[in-house]
Amino acid sequence: MKAVKYLEIEGRSTGYYALLAILGLIVAAGGLAALYMEHNGHHVTGMNNQIVWGMPHVFAVFLIVAASGALNVASISSVFGKKAYKPLAPLSAFLSICLLLGGLTVLVLDLGQPDRLVVAMTIYNFKSIFAWNMILYNGFIAIVAVYIWFMLERRMNQYSKYAGFVAFFWRLILTTGTGSIFGFIVARQAYDAAIMAPMFIIMSFAYGLAIFILVMMAAYSWSNRELGDSTVRRMKNLLGVFIGSVLYFTLAYHLTNLYATENHGVEAFILRDGGIYTQLFWLGQVLVGGLIPLFLIYFPATAQSRAMISIACALVILGGLATMYLIIIGGQAYPMEMFPGKIVESAFFDGGVKQYIPTMAETLLGVGGFALALIMVALVVKILRVLPVSLADAELDPHASTGK
C-alpha cells in the first residue's frame, strides 16, 4: 500500500454551504422544540405516566449505539491489523464521537429540566446502569480523542495500535451498558433479557457501518475525490455480514422468549397482535432493515451499484430506527405479566396496552440530534486533515490495475 496523503476539503462550494444551512435549520428546529417542551411541560408531548421514554429516546439511543459501530473501520485496522481499512480510520473515529455527541445532546434535552444533568454528574448510584453509562460515554469520548491524536500525530503513531485496542474494548463495554439498560429492567415484560447486551453490540456494528458508508461515499462524491470499487465492495460485504447477524440475534431473542410461558403474551403482541408495533417488526425491522438491504448488497444486478448500496445503507438506518422504536416504545406499551394466564386490571392502567403518539416537537428534537452530528462531521472534514486525498484501487493496491 502506498503512503496515504490526507487533506481537508475546501468547503467553499455552494453545495457545501447549502448542506450546512439545511442541517443548521434542522438543528435550530430541534432546539426550539426542546425549548417548547421544557417551557410548557410534559403534557405537550405524547408521553404519559406509563410511557416515559418517547421519540427523542428512540433517536438518542440509536445514535449512541451507532456511534460505537461507526468506530468499526478504525478498530478493524488497528486491532485486527487490516491495512486496507487504515486510511479511513481517522474519519471513522471522528464520526463515532460526532454521533455520540448528537445522541447525548438529545438525551440531555429530553430530561425535561436539563439542569438535572448536574445531579447525574455529581451523584452516582453504582447499582444503576445509568450511573455507569455516564462514565462509559465520557470515557469513550476521551479514549477515542486520544486515539485520534495518536493516529494524526506522526510522533505518536507507534502508540496508535494500543490506543485502538483500548477504544475497541471500551466501545464493547459501552454498548453492553446501553443494551443492559433494557436487559436489567424487570418491570417491563419485553425487556429483562440477557441477550439484549450482545444484540445491541451487533446492532451497533450494522447501524454504525451503514452511516459510515453513506458519509464516506458522500464525502468523496461531493469533494470530487476518487473512491475505489474495492473499498466500497469491502465495506458493503462487511455490512451484509452484520445485517445477517442482527437478523440471527433477533430470531434468537424471540425464540428464547417463546420458550417461557410468561413471555407468550408479549411475543404475541409483537409478532401478531400489536398493530403498529407488529408492523414495525415485520415491515420495519425484518423487511426494510434486514431482508431488502441483504438482497441489494448480494444480488449480482445490484451489488455493484453504488446507488443501490446507498439505498441499502439508508434502509438499514430506517430499520434501525424502527427497531429502537419497537424496543423502547413497544416495550413500555405492553403491560407487565404479573400472573401468566390471568387478566389483571386496575384503576392504575394495569393490564392494558398503553397508547403513545409522538408529537412533532419530539420528532424534531430527535432529528435535530442527527443533524447536529452530521454538521460536526462536515466541519471536521473541512477543518482537519482526516480524509485521504484518494482511495483509488491503484493507490491502495499496486496490483489492482494489473489484475494481479
Who's near 28: CB < 8 A, 6+ residues apart? Answer: 368
360 has pLDDT over 60:
yes
Q: pLDDT by residue (tens digit) across 51-83?
A: 888 999 999 999 999 999 999 999 998 888 888
- What does the pLDDT read at residue 112? 66
How far apart, in whole angstroms, are the C-alpha atoms of residue 347 and residue 144? Answer: 50
400 has pLDDT over 80:
no
Of the candidates 238, 237, 239, 233, the one whose C-alpha atom is nearest the C-alpha of residue 391 is 233
Q: Which residues partner with 391 through β-bridges?
A: 227
- What does the pLDDT read at residue 347? 60
In Å, how far from its chain's centre is CA 75? 16
Cα atoms found within 13 Å of the Cα of residue 185, Cβ hemisphere only: 18
266 phi, psi to nearest 5 deg: -70, -30
Q: What is the DSSP string of 24-64?
A: HHHHHHHHHHHHHHHHH-GGGSS--SS--S-HHHHHHHHHH
Query: What's the whole-number average pLDDT of the chain?
Result: 88
What residue spans of 280-359 are helical by DSSP H? 292-298, 300-303, 306-325, 331-333
End-to-end Cα separation, the chain, in angstroms: 14
Say what percent of the chain tops pLDDT 70: 92
- The Cα angle at residue 78 between residues 72 and 84, in degrees rounded to 5: 75
**All three cell numbers of 53:** 421514554
Of the candidates 147, 146, 148, 122, the one whose C-alpha atom is nearest the C-alpha of residue 135 is 122
- What does the pLDDT read at residue 83? 85
Q: Classify 353 as helix, strand or coil.
A: coil
Helices 14-40, 360-383: axis angle to 10 degrees equals 140
Looking at per-residue pLDDT, the higher value among 341 and 230 belongs to 230
Q: pLDDT by residue (tens digit) across 173-202?
A: 999 988 888 877 776 777 878 889 899 999
Q: Which residues partner with 227 through β-bridges?
A: 391
What per-residue string of b and e applies to 15-45 under the rule 16 or more CB within 10 Å gives b?
A: ebeebbeebeebbebbbebbebbbeeeeeeb
Q: pLDDT by residue (tens digit) across 111-152?
A: 766 677 777 777 777 777 777 888 889 999 999 999 999 998
- What does the pLDDT read at residue 235? 94
Domain boundaries, the chain: 14-195+252-264+328-389
Least confident of 38-42, 257-261, 369-373, 398-402: 398-402
Confidence of residue 366 (pLDDT cuts 50, 70, 90): very high
Question: Measuring CA to CA, how many Å separate 205 from each of 61, 175, 344?
Answer: 14, 10, 40
